[in-house]
A and B are shown apart, each in its own frame.
Chain A
Amino acid sequence: EIVLTQSPATLSVSPGERATLSCRASQGIHTNLAWYQQKPGQAPRLLISGASTRATDIPARFSGGGFGTDFTLTISSLQSEDFALYYCLQYSLWPQTFGLGTKVEI
């Protein structure tokens, strides 16, 4: 199985600041990576697929990048509704695997 390592585990940011989250794969996965946001008591929501393609209705302040083993999710200017857990998912190799998540807190 491919292991995804997300860092940091917790990111403390002020509203309006930029947040950069990292996801590293244990082997190369091309751009076969997605990002999800999960708020307390809610199901995860797809933000990004193909490493950099925003899903429908996702604001432009969310951007993804990377290739191979190193990926980033950037939130350009944090809004109050962005404080949540973020997970990456690789779908390059079966079975699909998730990272353990990064909590973005105030």
Chain B
Amino acid sequence: EVELVQSGAEVKKPGESLRISCQASGYVFTSYWIGWVRQMPGNGLEWMGVIFPRDSDIEYRPSFQGQVTISADTSTDTIYLQWSSLKASDTAIYYCVRRFGSSWFDFWGQGTLVTVSP
């Protein structure tokens, strides 16, 4: 059974750094693209980027390029989403998603709430 288990909720101040994680299980980690979708409060869904763990190839949505860093650790089947300097506008729920080939997102993690407030 495919499972994506994310790290817990975070409360941070503007300017702080943060790394959240997602550990995958139930499938061959290096064979699928896996990444992140953002859901801002009361808003819809926005795809941020994905990584192919076998070769660390990464696709970023242009609006997130340079704002976040996605990485993967094949020794623990875990991916990460990292910010070097958070803003209040980063407050959102972040979902880990597995992408089926280059198409739809077939499995989702439970979500990680990130709150950025002074």
Question: Which residues of A line the B interface, CB within 8 A?
Answer: 32, 34, 36, 43-46, 49, 55, 87, 89, 91, 94-101
A95 near B47: Cβ-Cβ < 8 Å: yes
CB distance from B113 to the nearest CB of A (A): 10
Determine the residue in chain B with the shortest Cβ distance to A99: B44
- B contact residues around A55 at 8 Å (CB): 106
Contact B108 A44 (CB under 8 A): yes
What is the count of residue pairs linking A and B with beta-carbon distances less than 8 angstroms?
50
A95 touches B104 (CB 8 A): no
- Does the CB pair B95–A44 fall under 8 Å? yes
Q: Which residues of B contact A (CB under 8 A)?
A: 44-47, 59, 61-62, 95, 100, 102-111
- In the complex the two chains form, what is the Cα distance from A32 to B103 in whole Å? 8
What chain A residues lie within 8 Å of B61 (beta carbons)? 95
**Smallest CB separation, B37 vs chain A (Å):** 8
Q: Give the contacting residue for B45; candidates A44, A91, A95; CB below 8 A.
A: A44
Contact A96 to B108, CB < 8 A, known contacts A44-B95, A49-B100, A49-B103 = no
Assess whether B104 is in contact with A45, with CB atoms less than 8 Å apart.
no
Nearest CB of chain B from residue A74's CB, rounded to whole Å: 19
A100 to B45, CA, bound (A): 7
Contact of B44 among A34, A43, A45, A98 (CB under 8 A): A98
CB-CB < 8 A to A95: which residues of B? 47, 59, 61-62
Cβ A91 vs Cβ B104 within 8 A: yes
**In the complex, chain B residues whose CB is within 8 Å of the CB of A43:** 95, 108-111
